[in-house]
Structure formats: structure tokens, C-alpha cells
Structure 1
Amino acid sequence: MKKNLPLAILSGLLLWIAWPPTPYTTFLLFIGFVPMLLAIENIIKDDKAKKGRRVFNTAFIGFLIWNTLCVYWVYNALKIVGEIVAIPITLIPYSLGPLLMAAAFWLYYRLRLVAPRWVALIGLVCFWVGYEYLHQSWDLNFPWMTLGNGFAISHQWVQWYEYTGVYGGTLWVCTINILVFLIYVGLREAQTKNTRLSLIGVALVVLLAPLGYSLSVYSNYVEEQNPSNVVVAQPNIDPYEKEGNIPANLQVDILIHLSRQIAQPNTEYFIWPETALPEYIDEDKLRSSNLIGQARFFLRNYKNANLITGAETYKTYDTRATETAKPMQEGGFYDSYNTALSIENGDRLQTYHKSRLVPGAESLPFGNALSFLKPVFEHLGGATGTYAPDKDAGVFYSQSGIGAAPSICFESIWGGYVARSVKKGAQFIAIITNDGWWENTSGKDQHLDYAKLRAIETRRWVCRSANTGISAFINQRGDVVKHTEWWTKTAIKQDINLNSELTFYVKHGDYIPQAGCILTGVGVLFLLGMRLKRKQVLTA
């Protein structure tokens, strides 16, 4: 363990340095796993006992360093509830991902015991992709550290995400790391010169072919002209003061003033941030809401305009109508929602409820099994605790037929989920968020960078409204063409190009991780079968 621990730590540090928002170091992703693979190789080949445990512990330490250094800011979002609660809850994103990553390497070790190294390395890629897909799909989802996200700061390299999504980046990173590892170990294993040259040749092709293709696409990509004028407002209201300290109508006035300053007669969309309407609004009485009336009054001067804004809404029931419904003190039940609203000049209102909820802050993971923790979780994520989600991605349609994909905060890191909105007819992506909870940390920058990948995957403009920054417009190549500064009260506008063409990724979704999960299942069943066979031999 002692001689392999520095290698594990080196892997963690290399991957952290390579991760957004650090510029110019993305290339380290291609060698970040090599020290870890060498450490595991050393453990496999030594003659000490408890190799499986040592493999797991070594991998866990390296990946814990990588994850913690990249998402240290998660603690800031939870500290409002106090350190006693925030510290244990923060351990979920800090340690759960590394545990799953270490499990993938442990499965690789088990496969090495019964199969050639090249087979086990292919298995490792499948196990890793399977872990990533699991971590975006279960109740404790947190796909922030999906390997393909590492290219968000160097989006010019991965224009082919329109075919593969971020999981294509995961395969790219894993494959090159494995090839570099094989070249290195070949030097100490007296590998033949021809074999070594072949591996070097394959590694160069795998590295340069996708890179060259991407840079060519980036240089030659031309958007079809279909302009729409959009205004994004950033009110810069301290999230800790939104509830109660600043009157709700004053907060809406701030947004109206910022929007009106730069609006044009032909502006078609105004976009305000998450929970911009800071009162709990009964969804059965939306049209009688004073705040929505205030917004509608503002829109009267813009004939074709639509407003996409965040709000907190609720529904009441006489009986427990849904699994997420909570009891009210005065009797009956209610569901609360983190909502995106589409408001028009006419009577039509459209609603979308955030579906990808933050575990702990907005939803209770494995609610039935952990129901005893509800009193704790209800204090997280503002004053609402557990939200009720929509079942699928949504689309807002304007009076003129323009489709917009509403994406609320955390949802924007799910490429496949955003792609479903686009497949339903969205011609641009509207991200509304409140990154102020994280304060001035790299979390806000990573969140913005990841939005560039959504633009590439779908070839849609991204219009991003953040309460306390960073708001931005991102074109179909993933370029941030305009953005605000952090902690600045302002608004920006842009003529974006609407797009109705569907990319391969939008049409087919996350086919790569789904295949990885199937192969992971096959690998696990194979290992279980081999273990059972070994037991039968020993007892015969």
C-alpha cells in the first residue's frame, strides 16, 4: 500500500488539475488514470494477501482526492442548515462517487484473476461506463464527475458529442489511458519493438483522429440563419435574502427594470432565473397570482414576447393523491414544486416541474426506506424540502410555435434528459438557475462550462439565466458568445438562431452507457459464475 499510495494520489491530482474550469490542462485527462493502473498492476503482481481489499482502498483514496478537490463547493450549498447537518450530507457527493469508481477497479481486478489482461481492461471500461450511468440514474444521482464532462473547458475538441454525448468522451479518455498504460508496462516487461510501435501507433490514431475531426467540424460549422431575439436577466439577489427579506413584488420589479432596459420591440423571449417569483403560488390559482399579473403587465409592450421564469408552486389535495404529497397541519395534503413557468400576453400559462432533483436538498433518496430522515431533509434546499417532480422532460411552445427546452439548474448536466426536450420540439435551451448557493467557487464556472456540452450534443443555442451569475448565451458550437460577471445586477440580449434539425445523439440518446450497463451485467454474471465454479471444484 505504501509504495502504491503515491501513485493513487498522483492520479487524483492529475485528474483534478485537468478538470474544468482549469484552462490549458485538459490533456492531462489522457494520462490521469495511468498512475492508478500502475498501482493496481503492482498489487496484482505482488505476493501479499488481501489483494482485493488493497485494490479497492488504493483506488478509493485516489478518486476521493479527485472528487473532493473538484466539488468542494457542495458544502457551501448546504451550510445554511448548520455544520452538524451539512457535513454528513456533503459526504454523499464527496465519497459516494469514489466508492463506485473504486468498485469498478475492484471488478477489473477480479476479472484479471480469470481472464487475460486485455480482456480485463476492456471490462474495466465497461465497468466504468456502467458506474457513470448508474450514478446518473438512481436516487443518489450526481453525474457531475462523468469523465466526458472534463472536456467542457476544451469544447472545440469534442464536437463529435453530437453523435455520442459525453459518454463518448468517457470512452476516449479510458481508451487512451489504457493504451499509454500498456506502452509503459511494456517497457518493463520486455515488450517487442513491433508490439510497442503498434501500440504507439494505435494510441496516436485514437487520440488524433477524433481531435482532428472535431477541430475541422468546429472550424467549418455554420449555423442556419433563423434569428430570435432573447433577453436574459440576472437580478443578483442574495439567495439567503430572497425569502422574506426583500419583498416579492420588489424582486419582480428589479427583473422587469433590467429586462426593459435592453428589450427590443421584436424580443420574443425574456428569461428570468430559478425561483425568480419568490412566493409559493397555488397552481390552481396561477392566473390570480399578483406576481404573474405583474409579469403579464410588463409583457403588454412586447407583442410576441414570452417569459420563461422560475417559481415555487404547490398543489393541494383532499387525500394523498401522489407518493410525494405531504400532510398539511390544517388537514389535507400538498405537493410543492421547483417550477418553470411560460407566461404570455394572453391567458395561456405553461408549467414544467423540475424532474432531476438534487438528492438530499430537493428529494429524499430511497424515500420509503429512509422515511425516518424526512424531518432533516425538509430543511434543505430552501423552505420547501422535498419537491415533487415531473415524469419527463418538457417543452414550452410560444404563440408563434417556437419550442424552448426548460432546464432548471441541476438538470442541465443530464445530456440525455435535455436531448429529450429537443427531440420533442425544442429549438433552443433555456437554463434557469441560482448558483449563488455555491458562492464564488469553481462550482458556478463548472456549471456554465457543462452547458456548452448541451449545445454541442443538441446543436441548440443555450440561453442561461442565473440569479447571481453567471448568465450567458452559448451558440451551437458551444462558444460562450456573451456572458455576465459574477455578482452583478444586469441583463444581456442576443439574436440566437433557432434550430429544428435533430442530431444523432438527440435521436438515439444514451446508447453508449446503456450498452456499457449491459456488458457490466454480463461481466458481473461471468465473475459470479467463475466463483461458483471454483467453490464446486474445491468441495468436490
Structure 2
Amino acid sequence: MPTEPRNAVLDRLPTWNFLVATGLLLGLAYPPNPVGLFGAVGLVPLLYVLRRAATWKQAFRWSYGSFLLFSALTTWWVGSWQSKTEPYLMISCLLLIIIHPLFFVIPMLLYRWVMRRASPFHALLFLPFLWTGGEYLHALTDASYPWLTLGNTQTYNHYFIQFIEFTGVWGLSFVLLAINCALTALLFAAGADIPQQQRRQVRRVGLGVLAAAILLPYAHGILRDESPTKGGGMTTTIIQPNVDPWDKWEQVDTVNQIELNGQMTRKAVAALQQKPDMVLWVETAIPRTLTTPGAEGRMAEVMELVNSIDVPLMSGFPDYHRYSDTEPIPPSSKIGVEYGAAGQLDSFRYDHFNSVGLFVPGKGLTGVYHKMQLVPFGERIPFADDLPFLIKMLTWDMGISAWGRGQSITVFDLPLRNGQPAKGGAVICFESVYPNVVRKFVDSGANFLTVVTNDGWYLGTTGPLQHQRFALLRAIENRRPIARAANTGISCFISPNGEIYNETEQNVAAAITDQLELRSGRTLYTRWGDWWPQLCLLAAAMFAVAIALRRHRSA
């Protein structure tokens, strides 16, 4: 059994002090709190105290307790907690708070495993690779919820985060873990039972890691920083209708959302000296399908607006697709019936998709994108294609928890007023939390991005504020401008270096117009994708095998 370092002052504190400290520090590290520093130190108390755990079960309980507090502080808003909230949504929130900490517990158990088989210092060397790889694996699952990726804590740290154009937000998580682990190593090295030579060595390495992890990102950010260029780009008008989402879906037949958004659009465009290159509406701004039989009137209403203002419109709407016999048909698709030519009753398969379309004057609907990354439970039951019977059991009253899942990226061709072409990618709501999803739009040629969302379900909570801040990470990763349209706010523009400008207030109807600086180059992250967490995962696996073999030989 390796010698465990002791610290006379810290070892007198009760275990629960450390567990609560980690939960509080991590919980407060996320937006809208501008204290991302807590993300760099929040794990230190737990990493330090886990050496006290006599069994893996005790380590599990301690880790789970810390991360349960962390999860409750950061994701309580998922339940909405408004007077009209569905009980199902509140239950989903409670399940998320209870289950999600398990994803963080696994790295802690493996950290303790290495600590027991090698040393605390080996475990601290191992953890940044393991944690980063684990975050990546979690984001791949059908029930993924990467909202609490540790790198997301740094959205107020402008210069520090610019290097994610190389690694994605995963590199930011790695650096934060390295700082946490270096600080913990320095605490371990202060123990009275550590040999003097080892203490000096750990201090040199720990201080070196701290210096590199802090100074290198800042140096790159300061040297790389540039002022956002608003000239020579494309002008976009964003419409924020501020519609109660509960009323919107319940009164879908009596409230004409096309007319409401259209009136705001006409007024906004008329107030400008020069027409914009594009108008952007929010997620499901048009809450009814436009391509089903009988929807011709709604499509005509949209195109009448687009043709009259002579400006392309990008808008969210639910799209309908009927599968042909030659297409792959997802098991989770819906079954419809109709009378055939001979009067018999025939069945067919179809899906509705949470979608964004581009409507161009004189041309009509020129492209549609179907959302690929759906909110677990809120928009789609996880593993629905494997367990399609769950869809009927778990569809909530708003009727929006059984969307079909899109299968491919769509990049829209937008004709600008100056005659130049532009290519845009439309990211829908929850997708903006997934680096690899957003990256694919840019890798496919998009030189600007839009994010359309309906955060009104969570108005008055921290959720919409967090969601807005996370979008700036996608701008930096791909060096692309973003126009963000949110039903009840916050709508805004984001420069390629992550600066937010011309943002709206929440819970107000608004129209904002500004320019987006179009870009054509691709960052390392855009080209290579999630290479860094994959490398971390490989390194963690090799490290674990080496520790296991070392233990086996010594036995």
C-alpha cells in the first residue's frame, strides 16, 4: 500500500466539509455567475479527501453526494417550475439531477483505484485524461446531456478560452482538470510524511503545470485577440416575438404566429435605411407544418410576406416527411392510415421534425434542416429506435416529445444583396451545446451560423442565461459569427472571437439588426473534430492498463 500524504491542518476537518465545498464551488462556477475560477479549484476538496475513503463504496457515496449538490445547483431550472409546467417536465428534472451525477462519479472511482494501486500523484496525472475522455463519451450517448461540461464554466474568461479553436471545449476541460490536479498535488506534497526529495519534485512539477495551464492559454488569447469586424459582412434582422410557449402550442389553431411574426418583421424592415440580407425567426416560430396536404395556405402566407419585403427568411417550423417504400424507415416513426384507390385502408410511416427552413423571394422554400440532436425526454425518448414502444408511454401533453431525428447536415445557400453568395448553418436549440454538431455545419461550408431556440419554457431561471453563454464557445471553436434568435430572449449576435453584441432583454418583444462578419477559413477543431478527447481517452486507457500490469507484476 503506497504511503498516503498527510496534512495536519486539513486532516482535522470533517469529510463533509470537503464534499460540500466541491458541490458548492462547481455549482457556482457556471453562468450566469461570472466566477469561472471556481471551475479551476472546485474539484480540489473532493480529490484531496477521497484518500480517506476506506472502500470503493465509501468513495462512491462521497463522490455522489458532492456531484448531487453540484447537479442540483446547476440544473434545477430544467423543471421550469412555472404555473403551467407539465408535471412530467418536473419529474424529468428530478431524474436528471439524481442520475447525472453518476457520470462524474465514475472518474472519481477510477482515480481512487489508481491512487490505491500506484500513488496519489499517479492518480492526479491520470485524471485529466480520464475526465476529458469521459465527458466526450457521455456526449455520444442517446441520453447525453453535456450541459455540465467543465469547460462551459469559462464563458466570461475571454482571453483564456481562445485556444479552443484547436481542441474544442474539451481542451478547456482538460486544462481546468490539470489546474485542479496540480493544486491537489501541492496539498499532498505539504504532508508531513512526504520525503523531502519527493516534496521538492512534486512542487516543481505542480508549479510548472500551473504556470503552463494558466499562462499559455492567456498568452495565446491575448496574441490572437482581434476586434470584431462588422463591415463587409451580411446584415441580419432577428425577430424576438416573446410568445408564451405554453399558450403557443395550446392555442395553435387560434393564434396566427405567422401574422404576429410577420407584423414585427414588416415594421423592423421598414425602419431600416437599407434592407437586411436575411430575417431570422425563432425555433418553431411557425408552429404548424407547411408541407403537408392542406397546408398550402400557410405556405402562401409565408411566401407573401417574404416576397413583399423582398428579404430571405430563415425560420423554425415543424416539418413533415412521409417515408417511401424505398427509404430506410426508423422503428420510432409514426404510423398513419389512409384509404387506397380501391377503398381499402392502407398504412404508411411518417415523422415530424423540429426544423429550420430558408424561404427566398421568388423561389420559395429552398432548403430544410431537420434537428439531429434532440433533447432527451423533452423532444425524443432516448433509444426510441431500439425501444419504440416507449414513445407512446412517455409523450407529454404539449405533443413535442416524439420528434423524428434528422440524419444529415444542411447548409443553406443565401443570396446577399451585394450579389455575393453566403452559406449558413442553422443550429436548433439544444444542439448549440454539442461542439461536434455545430462543427459539421462549418466543415460543410457554412461561413455563418444561426442558433434558433425557444427558451421561454424556462423563463425566470438560469437556463436561458447559460444557454446563451455556451453559444459563444461554438463561435470561437469554429471562428464563425452567430446570429441567435430566442423566443423570449436572449437574442444577440456573437463575433467569431466570442464577443456578444446587440443583445436583447428577456421577456420583451424585440427586433434587432446588425452585421455578421463572414468567414471562410477552417480552424483545427473544425477540420479534425474531437481529436483531443479521443486522444485523452486513448491515453487514459493506456495508463490504466499500465497500472494494472504493474500491479500484476508486483504481486
Normalization by structure 2: what TM-score? 0.87
| 1:321 alignment counterpart | 329
Task: Give 1:499-510 correspondences, 5 Å limit.
Answer: 499-510=519-530
Change in CA separation of 1:177 and 1:244 when aligned onto 2, cut-off 3 Å: closer
Task: Give 1:250-269 correspondences, 5 Å limit.
Answer: 250-263=256-269, 264=272, 265-269=274-278
Amino acid at match of 2:296: S
1:184 Cα deviation (Å)? 1.3
| 2:3 alignment counterpart | none
1:281 Cα deviation (Å)? 3.5
In 2, Cα distance between the equivalents of 1:199 and 1:4?
A: 25
| 1:139 alignment counterpart | 142
| 1:27 alignment counterpart | 37
1:268 Cα deviation (Å)? 1.0
More helix by share: 1
Q: Pick from 464, 488, 491: which aligns with 1:444? A: 464
In 2, Cα distance between the equivalents of 1:403 and 1:461?
A: 12
* Structure 2 residue ranges without an equivalent (≥5): 1-10, 339-346
Amino acid at match of 2:245: P
CA-to-aligned-CA distance 1:146-180 (integer Å, 9 cap, x gap): 01111113233211111111011101100011111
| 2:220 alignment counterpart | 213
1:491 Cα deviation (Å)? 0.7
1:529 Cα deviation (Å)? 6.6
| 1:311 alignment counterpart | 317
Q: Pick from 66, 69, 72: which aligns with 1:68? A: 72
In 2, Cα distance between the equivalents of 1:393 and 1:21?
A: 31
Q: Pick from 281, 284, 298: which aligns with 1:275? A: 284
Q: Is the 8 A contact 1:234 1:471 kept in 2?
A: yes
Q: Does 1:404 align with 2:420?
A: no
In 1, Cα distance between the equivalents of 2:399 and 2:228?
A: 46
Change in CA separation of 1:222 and 1:76 when aligned onto 2, cut-off 3 Å: closer
| 1:365 alignment counterpart | 382
Q: Pick from 165, 183, 206: which aligns with 1:199? A: 206
1:80 Cα deviation (Å)? 5.8
| 2:532 alignment counterpart | 512
| 2:8 alignment counterpart | none
Q: Is the 8 A contact 1:267 1:302 kept in 2?
A: no
Amino acid at match of 1:22: N
| 2:433 alignment counterpart | 413
1:485 Cα deviation (Å)? 0.7
In 2, Cα distance between the equivalents of 1:269 and 1:458?
A: 22
In 2, Cα distance between the equivalents of 1:409 and 1:91?
A: 21
Change in CA separation of 1:89 and 1:518 when aligned onto 2, cut-off 3 Å: same
RMSD value, Cα: 2.7
Change in CA separation of 1:344 and 1:445 when aligned onto 2, cut-off 3 Å: same
Question: What SS class does the counterpart of residue 391 from structure 2 fall into?
Answer: helix
| 1:334 alignment counterpart | 350
Question: What SS class does the counterpart of residue 156 from structure 2 fall into?
Answer: helix
CA-to-aligned-CA distance 1:23-76 (integer Å, 9 cap, x gap): 2x2112221111011111222xxxx4xx11111111111111112101111111
| 1:16 alignment counterpart | 27
Question: What SS class does the counterpart of residue 245 from structure 2 fall into?
Answer: coil
Question: What SS class does the counterpart of residue 159 from structure 2 fall into?
Answer: helix
Q: Does 1:106 align with 2:109?
A: yes
| 2:46 alignment counterpart | 36
Q: Is the 8 A contact 1:158 1:169 kept in 2?
A: yes
In 1, Cα distance between the equivalents of 2:183 and 2:247?
A: 51
Aligned pairs, how many? Answer: 522
| 2:235 alignment counterpart | 229
Once the two structures are aligned, what percentage of the paired residues are identical?
Answer: 27
Amino acid at match of 1:216: L
Change in CA separation of 1:364 and 1:77 when aligned onto 2, cut-off 3 Å: farther
1:360 Cα deviation (Å)? 1.0
Q: Does 1:391 align with 2:401?
A: no
1:15 Cα deviation (Å)? 1.2
Change in CA separation of 1:524 and 1:36 when aligned onto 2, cut-off 3 Å: same
Amino acid at match of 1:296: M
Question: What SS class does the counterpart of residue 308 from structure 1 fall into?
Answer: strand
Amino acid at match of 1:35: P
Amino acid at match of 2:382: P
| 1:127 alignment counterpart | 130
Q: Pick from 3, 6, 14: which aligns with 1:3? A: 14
| 1:492 alignment counterpart | 512
Amino acid at match of 1:491: A
In 2, Cα distance between the equivalents of 1:522 and 1:88?
A: 40
Change in CA separation of 1:197 and 1:384 when aligned onto 2, cut-off 3 Å: closer
Q: Is the 8 A contact 1:110 1:527 kept in 2?
A: no
1:197 Cα deviation (Å)? 4.9
1:324 Cα deviation (Å)? 2.7
In 2, Cα distance between the equivalents of 1:318 and 1:417?
A: 27
Q: Is the 8 A contact 1:78 1:86 kept in 2?
A: no
